[in-house]
Amino acid sequence: MTLQPVPDRAAVDPIHLFVPKFRVPECLAEITDCLEKGWTGLGYKTIAFEDAWKKYTGFPHAHFTASATAGLHLALTLLKEAGSWADGDEIITTPLTFVSTNHAILHSRLRPVFADVDDYLCLDPESILDRISSRTRGVMFVGLGGNVGQLDRILKISRDRNLRVILDAAHMAGTRVRGVQAGLEADVTVFSFQAVKNLPTADSGMVCFSERSLDEAVRKWSWLGINKDTYTRTKSTGAYRWRYDVEQVGFKYHGNSIMAALGLVGLRYLDEDNGYRRRLAAHYDSLLSVVHQVSLVKMAPECQPSRHLYQLLAEDRDELMSYLNDHDIYPGVHYNENTAYRMYPSSEAACPKARHASEHLISLPLHLKMLERDAQRVAQTVAEFCGARVGHA
């Protein structure tokens, strides 16, 4: 059965790329608890969220931060210190990511070395092997859209060569592989709970080290190098509980209880919400698989993704985006290849798949307030641009 033509613009509501969903009464109840106790900063609610996150994911350690970007910077700072890395040592990374991934490498005075991506738009293991040098210290893997790509193979390559694995899991809250949260085998995994992520707050993140000593250290580094945060001092006993030492020139990167309150509520619904996103993505798949002018980005086998993004590749990407905008549909691009920016110079031929993807990628609207008929309207509009028709799934 052929779908009806796209309705006139005046007759439809806009469909945006991201619209976060908050369970407002529950969020307000958690926030009210903070306000009534007079404790909105780092404290009992951030600890409760860390404990809930560890229980949900299986990570042995978790530290709540002001953002995922802060978490990535902390991760590299501590791994560099623990491994006695020198300034200019190399981290193999992807150019197809938000700049925060690679800015964290530069902020740590390390050198990003760009490897190419595979068909999942994640790091290609063969390209990593080509980039390893005597100064390589780690691999930064980005789970784009919640995909795990070939992470298992990259973990093995890294272990065999004594390289650290940093997992930028900004899109991977609730992504599972063979039933287990992705990232448990990495040296450190960093999640994002930024405003439009699949577990949204206003902005915050979680850094999960595999080693207890690094988890203990990160709590000092995120609180200006102070060895006892205010909440810990408040809960301690004795006449000198106000005393503390400053062990490093640290950062003010810790999370706060208001953001943790939002995170605690979102975590209760994360599996349900991710399941809904996967259903919308499957609906997109069924509708767009017959539109041969676009290529769908597949999820890796055995991966149950968060589905933070639904991505495809279109030959006339910019024209398609304009056409969708003309029909009140507002997609996005994830991402511009980072080597397009002045601080990341690289040979144009270094990562051809990433370059091609950057020029053709489009992220279609995908969020919890969409209905299947919204996905159908988006798919129909893509198909009409391509000169095709899609049928009911």
pLDDT, tens digit, 9 for 90 and up, residues 300-327: 999 999 999 999 999 999 999 999 999 9
Given a cut of 70, whether residue 8 has pLDDT beyond it is no
How far is Cα 209 from Cα 201, in angstroms, rounded to an integer? 22
Given a cut of 90, whether residue 239 has pLDDT beyond it is no
Count of beta carbons in the 10 Å neighbourhood of residue 28: 14
What's the confidence (pLDDT) of residue 228? 75
What's the confidence (pLDDT) of residue 244? 85
Burial of 292 (C-beta count, 10 Å sphere; 0-12/13-18/19+): exposed
What's the confidence (pLDDT) of residue 234? 61
* Confidence category of residue 259, pLDDT binned at 50, 70, 90: very high
Average pLDDT, the chain: 94
What's the confidence (pLDDT) of residue 3? 45
Q: What is the pLDDT of residues 357-382, one digit of tens each?
A: 999 999 999 999 999 999 999 999 99
What's the confidence (pLDDT) of residue 347? 73
Q: What is the pLDDT of residues 11-70, one digit of tens each?
A: 689 999 999 999 999 999 999 999 999 999 999 999 999 999 999 999 999 999 999 999
110's tokens? 């390390």
Which strands, in side-by-side order, build the sheet including 180-181? 180-181, 176-177, 303-304
Residue linked to tokens 């953002």: 67
∠ CA(2), CA(3), CA(9), 5° rounding? Answer: 150
Count of beta carbons in the 10 Å neighbourhood of residue 285: 15
Instruction: Spell out the domains of the chain, with CATH numbers in brackets.
Output: 9-21+270-385 (3.90.1150.10), 24-268 (3.40.640.10)
Q: What is the pLDDT of residues 114-125, one digit of tens each?
A: 999 999 999 999
What's the confidence (pLDDT) of residue 388? 77
* Confidence category of residue 155, pLDDT binned at 50, 70, 90: very high
What's the confidence (pLDDT) of residue 238? 58
What's the confidence (pLDDT) of residue 375? 98
Given a cut of 60, whether residue 2 has pLDDT beyond it is no
The number of angstroms, rounded, from the C-alpha of 272 to the middle of its chain's C-alpha atoms is: 18
How far is Cα 108 from Cα 89, in angstroms, rounded to an integer? 10
Contacts of 2 (CB under 8 A, 6+ apart): 389, 391
386 or 11, greater pLDDT:
386
Q: What is the pLDDT of residues 184-221, one digit of tens each?
A: 999 999 999 999 999 999 999 999 999 999 999 999 99
Which DSSP symbol is given to 367?
Answer: -
What's the confidence (pLDDT) of residue 1? 33
What's the confidence (pLDDT) of residue 12? 80
Q: What is the pLDDT of residues 161-192, one digit of tens each?
A: 999 999 999 999 999 999 999 999 999 999 99
Tell me how far CA of residue 231 lies from CA of 146, 242, 256, 257, in angstroms: 34, 11, 11, 11
